[in-house]
Structure 1
Amino acid sequence: MKRDNQGQLNQYLEGKFDAKTFKDSARLWNNYATDYKPLVDFAKDKKVKFIATNIPRRYASQTAKEGLQSLNALSDKEKTYIAQLPIKVTLDTPGYQGNESDDGRPCGRNKSDEFHFSTGYKRRYHG
């Protein structure tokens, strides 16, 4: 779940939002019902914290287009949604060589490349 949806997630977990309000207020992925809802509902039932850790798409897109250094211009509030700066990324992992531009920005070969800054590595999905 995207980090900037933590507030809505907390409201749902605390019973302040019903399922429809949560769904309408958070940007849930298409596979939420099958892949995430059972875990979220488990956390709600057991009163366990559930932490939204994924970088919001707009910052991942910004990074892909403008590079990691562009994140330095984010407001303090926006920076709470990403990993602490500076972010160190290595593309030395086998299979990732050649997937960056001349200035070091990532440029995946398909639209399904996604960057997970919460853990500082690049993961590639093949669909």
Structure 2
Amino acid sequence: MKFRKMNFIVLVVLIFVLSSCSMFGKTFQQGVYEGTGIGYHKDDKPIKISVTIDSEEKIRDIKILDHGESDAIGSQALKDLAKKALEINDLSDIKIDAVSNATKTTNGFLEALQDALEKARNK
């Protein structure tokens, strides 16, 4: 009798664990998503990026599609920010240090990245 009771308890716990695993699936959908943000030259063009999310919820590629930032500082800052974003391990907690002399461009890039990730988020 004790053996059957123990088997039943183990079975119930196993069912609970397996069902909760499927309930808390992935947060972000695999695919390519675009996002926009306002950089230093807000009156020109917004920063527009394309973000590729893989099946492991990692950023695999970021492309700068369009921007109105300066060629000298802004363009290089966007390239540096895209490289830094590829190193992010937790898409729910985006932390990237600002590029020196390009704080507004950094903020615009982060806004565009958040916009793209919001589109990738499961709802």
The structure carrying a bigger strand percent of its residues is: 2
TM-score by length of 2: 0.23
Q: Which has the larger radius of gyration?
A: 2
The answer to which structure, 1 or 2, has the higher relative contact order (CA under 8 A, 6+ apart) is: 2
Q: TM-score, normalised by structure 1?
A: 0.23
